[in-house]
A = this chain, B = another copy of it.
Amino acid sequence: MPSVSPSLAAAMTHAATAVTEALERLLPHSDFAERKLFDAMRFGALGGGKRLRPFLVLNSAQLFGVREDCALRAAASVECVHCYSLVHDDLPAMDNADLRRGKPTAHKQFDEATAILAGDALLTIAFEILADPRTHEDPKVRCNLVAALAKASGANGMVGGQMLDLIAETSELDIGAITRLQRMKTGELIAFSAEAGGILGKASPQHLSALRAYAHDLGLAFQIIDDLLDTEGTEEETGKSVGRDAKAGKATFVTILGLERARHQAELLSEQAIRHLNVFDGRAKNLEDVARFVVDRKG
């Protein structure tokens, strides 16, 4: 991890460890015949990853003094949605990927039907976790979380973005369409992650919109770097299949802007993301640092 400050590295490690422990506790076990489903859910959700979204939930929640056990439930819920989307996106009918985080994808490890069902169940449990009184004592806050997560991950958010991504394989999209695609496919859930801490902390509308704006820019910067890594990175560095977009002839930020301008654009977005945090008067140090880290990462 180049250019990652010691405090950011510690905060990222803490978020990743804590959310993995929370998922371990929250995901159900079974000794019955359908056990394979439960194993596949855990496989999909506990296989590592950067846990960027949980990091955003925890660190935005900290700004408002939210109890960490509550923030962790929201973080686990977002991660269930993120992981379900990876399990479904990797399916043969979608991206047909064999490798994810250096391991077989869920349908390779289990089978296609089990992967579909495990994704469905991960999505479902995300809402069960949020609606539980242990996530927040105020049911209105819980409803706000459920509604915002559903909007971010549904047809007008993540799922719509994945649909656009599939369409991008066969039709030419311009930079505007690609930006919209990524805003929906990854941006909305990342924005919800940063917003979730604010919802839990009953933040002011001004603070909530600053967090959303920050996360939208961060998400786009993150995606541009993802595209760069798909072009420049190795499977060893990134832990997943690379060069897939180029092979598929798919338009990305890199194919449209070129390597240099794409990197420059990511850096601009990262700086812009950090400026949105000015309303927090320097108290959002970890969120600022992660915006710098995202454009410097190698995997």
A residues bordering B, Cβ < 8 Å? 28, 30, 32-34, 36-38, 41, 84, 88, 91, 93-94, 111-114, 116-117, 119-121, 123-125, 127-128, 130-133, 138-140, 142-144, 146-147, 149-151, 153-156, 159-164, 166-167, 171, 173, 177, 180, 184
Among B94, B111, B114, B146, the residue within 8 A (CB) of A127 is: B146
On whether the beta carbons of A163 and B37 are closer than 8 Å, the reply is yes
Report if A150-B128 is in contact (Cβ < 8 Å); known contacts: A28-B156, A139-B140, A143-B139.
yes
> In the bound complex, do residue B163 and residue A36 qualify as a contact, i.e. CB atoms below 8 Å apart?
yes
> Residue among A127, A130, A138, A173 with the most chain B CB within 10 A?
A127
Q: Are B33 and A155 interface neighbours, CB within 8 A?
A: no
Number of copies: 2
CB proximity of A42 to chain B, nearest CB, Å: 11
Closest 7 pairs between A and B when the two form their complex, measured CB to CB: A128-B150, A93-B112, A124-B154, A131-B146, A139-B139, A131-B147, A37-B163
Give the distance to chain B from A122, nearest Cβ to Cβ, in Å: 9
Q: Which residue among A93, A140, A155, A160 has the maximum number of chain B CB atoms within 10 Å of its CB?
A: A155
Give A173's nearest chain B residue, CB to CB: B33
- Residues in B neighbouring A84, C-beta threshold 8 A: 120
Q: Which residues of B contact A144 (CB under 8 A)?
A: 131
Q: How far is the CA of A93 from the CA of B171 in the complex (A)?
A: 27
